[in-house]
Structure 1
Amino acid sequence: MTILYHYCNAETFIKIIQSKMLWLSSTSKMNDLNEGSVVEKRLLSLTNEWLSTESHEFLVRTIDMFKDESYACCFSSKPDLAVQWMAYADAGRGFSIGFDSEKLLALDDRLREMTRDEYFAESRARAIQGDIKLGPVVYFDSDAQQRIVAALNRILRIFDAEALQGQAAMQLRSVDNETLVSAALTCIWLDAVTKDAAFEHEKEYRLFHVPPELPLQRAVGGKRLRESVLDPLRWRASRFGLAPYYEYKFNVDAISEIWVGPRNPDHPNLGAQHLIEMFLAHSGMTDVEVKMSTSPYRG
């Protein structure tokens, strides 16, 4: 059994427990300024050198059209990290909710677990789109960058420096639109599970979802509504602007632990711990262990 921890403030904690819902939010509305664009930036820097102007501009437009439409709910493999309390749990005043990953996976045949190797092995966007996936975040170090570029090149087949050695001038390549769309969508789902290497300390996992692609003619015609197994798409206000999200229902037995943050008002209070246990029981969760953070973080 692997337990994955979702850090949140007290208000979100109450909503999750009472509604039995997780929110998969647009990755473009998360706290990393490069969120959802780490792979995109690397791909476009390469294709700017190798693709014809017309093909490169089409790739840019396609990524821009769909890049806000990847969704994720974030977890950590560690229950009591100071950096997580600080960034995601109201500066330590919130909670860390421990989910049994096996029970999350058993909930729904639309959900499956993926490994890092599977991310890179997928050669076309259609192989991953539509379902909900659970897997570890890829941190964009030199090794990950090489593997991501190789995965994208299996689609585009243009990053071939050796083949061009000795030529007086590099011949820019034109690529058909269908291949460019596939590369763009693969770039988008890789971005859904990739973060800047500076965030590696978060030990993050993600429940993520990229809705199926629109037929190109619909996208070109301006009809940008996509259908998803998680419909309806919902909206909330965030500090990063209007944020779309999907709801994902889980069973009560998917939660196995609750950690109380180091600055949570209920942290040192055994009576308050009893109230938390009572709240969980009233929400149908009678077999959840409540634990107190031992993190030295005090704000």
Structure 2
Amino acid sequence: MADISAPFKMPMLEELDFSKSPVIFHYCSLETFLSIVQYKSLRLSDINTMNDYSEMHWAYDRFIEAVNQLIDEYDVEYFEYLDKLVSEAQLHTLPLLSCFSTDGDVLSQWRAYADDGMGVAVGFDSAIMASLAIRCAPVTYDPELQVGFFRDLIAATFPMWKIGDVKDNSHLAKFLTRAVFDMCLMKNPAFAEEKEVRIARAVVVRHDGDGWHLEDAGGKGSDKSSGKKHPIKYRAKKGGLVAHIDLPFSGAGPKFIKEVVLGPRSANKGTEISMALNANGLKGSKIRLSTATYR
């Protein structure tokens, strides 16, 4: 049986190291690039519409794996309570994401995300990005680290459950909801080549007599424009509807975009990209061409 007097250990995934990854890259079409610089906003979309169809399900399977490893160490009622809260947290909170990479010149990403190599990889200052009202962190691909996160979560919350009111433990529920949100930072190691960094924001899922609703509650960050509540919008994609918010970064300053990499099939020579950036108040960006020999 686990010791409820054990010291509290906050479960943690890897955090973004700004010194090792001062720039994070968003692969996109030229149309998306122009939208970003003209409207000074980043689009965060429903996690369930990402290219990995196992999003969140993969992380939940690692949670179950951690439970199975520890099944003899804790009360059965505790695991039942924990599973119920984790499941409810996923039902009532939806992560909206935008995806980046620490590598701005990967052929598979040019082909998949940047208009088959005709687009660009927009390099943002990672420290400034983290100041927005979002969660900014690298994706964890290692299943052992993922399971370890849930083992730590189970160990940390057990004493809280043991001494608390199981029927109304709102403090524990809030703690778990915050921790469960980081499940959006876990992916199948088959995607590790992407070296992905995600910016994520939680929106509330609500159901009432009028049907289903999504609501952005705002967030905390040094950039006030991104911290405000923003309307949930929808767009059509491959026969479905995708929920998203357009998160402004107007307070991020003129140096937010540090670099733009031209795709290997780009028709631009860099001058036009530089002009577009300067015309929209974004200064001093380095422009370079992909080294991929792809046509």
Structure-2 residue corresponding to 1:114: none
Q: Does 1:22 align with 2:47?
A: no
Cα pair distance change 1:225/1:286, threshold 3 Å: closer
Which secondary structure state, in structure 2, belongs to the residue aligned with residue 236 of structure 1?
A: strand
Paired residue for 2:277, among 273, 276, 280?
280
Paired residue for 2:88, among 47, 57, 62?
62
TM-score scaled by length of structure 2: 0.71
Which secondary structure state, in structure 2, belongs to the residue aligned with residue 263 of structure 1?
A: coil
Cα pair distance change 1:152/1:197, threshold 3 Å: farther
Cα distance in 1 for partners of 2:84, 2:263 equals 48
RMSD: 3.3
Give the superposition deviation at 1:219.
6.7
Q: Does 1:253 align with 2:252?
A: no
Structure-2 residue corresponding to 1:34: 54
Paired residue for 1:228, among 193, 217, 220?
217
Q: Does 1:198 align with 2:190?
A: yes
Listed as ranges, the gaps of 5+ residues in structure 2 are 1-18, 161-165, 219-228
Cα distance in 2 for partners of 1:146, 1:53 equals 16
Cα distance in 1 for partners of 2:39, 2:286 equals 19
Cα distance in 2 for partners of 1:154, 1:240 equals 43
TM-score scaled by length of structure 1: 0.70
Give percent identity, aligned residues only: 30
Structure-2 residue corresponding to 1:154: 156
Paired residue for 2:102, among 77, 95, 99?
77
Cα pair distance change 1:207/1:144, threshold 3 Å: same
Structure-2 residue corresponding to 1:13: 33
Cα distance in 2 for partners of 1:146, 1:228 equals 30
Cα pair distance change 1:20/1:73, threshold 3 Å: same
Give deviations 1:40-90, integer Å, cap 9, x for gaps. 2333566697458975884475145225x1122111111111121122112
Give the superposition deviation at 1:231.
2.1
Give deviations 1:230-271, integer Å, cap 9, x for gaps. 4222222223732212222223320011111012233xxx4x
Which secondary structure state, in structure 2, belongs to the residue aligned with residue 253 of structure 1?
A: coil
Quick check: 8-17 or 32-41, which moved more?
32-41
Give the superposition deviation at 1:105.
3.9
Give deviations 1:94-131, integer Å, cap 9, x for gaps. 1100101223345xxxx4xxxxxxxxxxxxxxxxxxx5
Quick check: 32-41 or 199-208, which moved more?
32-41
Listed as ranges, the gaps of 5+ residues in structure 1 are 112-130, 159-174
Cα distance in 1 for partners of 2:40, 2:115 equals 21
Structure-1 residue corresponding to 2:135: 133
